[in-house]
């Protein structure tokens, strides 16, 4: 189940002090802070420069 998966990921992060190899930091950020959190191009450029370039090209509002 999703709860069991979350528990295993939490244990992995706690003891290894890193994300599991196939768990995206962007996915984790979206889970913890909502999907709008990953629209921050400055943060995304540090985590995933390629994705930041793609997002910067998209039209957006300054709201």
Of the candidates 26, 17, 18, which has an alpha carbon nearest to the alpha carbon of residue 49? Answer: 26
**DSSP SS3 for 14:** helix
Does 44 map to a domain? yes
Residue 54 lies in a domain: yes
**Considering the domain boundaries, does residue 2 fall inside one?**
no
List of E strands, the chain: none
Q: What is the mean pLDDT of residues 3-12?
A: 87
* CA-angle at 15, arms to 8 and 23, nearest 5°: 50
Could you tell me if residue 17 is inside a domain? no
Q: What is the pLDDT of residues 8-26, one digit of tens each?
A: 888 998 999 988 888 888 8
| In a domain? residue 12 | no
State the total domains in the chain. 1
Print burial letters for 7-30: b (CB count within 10 Å at least 16), e (below 16): eeeeeeeeeeeeeeeeeeeeebbe
Of residues 35 and 53, more confidence is placed in 53
Residue 27 lies in a domain: yes
Residue 15 in any domain: the answer is no
Give the global pTM: 0.55
- 46 is in which domain, residue-wise? 23-63
- Confidence (pLDDT) at 28: 80
Does residue 31 lie within any of the structural domains? yes
């Amino acid at each position: 189940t999703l709860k069991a998966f979350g528990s295993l990921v939490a244990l992995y992060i706690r003891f290894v002090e890193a994300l599991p190899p196939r768990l995206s930091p962007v996915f984790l950020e979206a889970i913890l802070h909502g999907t709008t959190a990953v629209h921050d191009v400055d943060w995304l450029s540090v985590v995933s420069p390629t994705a930041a370039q793609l997002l910067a090209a998209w039209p957006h509002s300054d709201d």
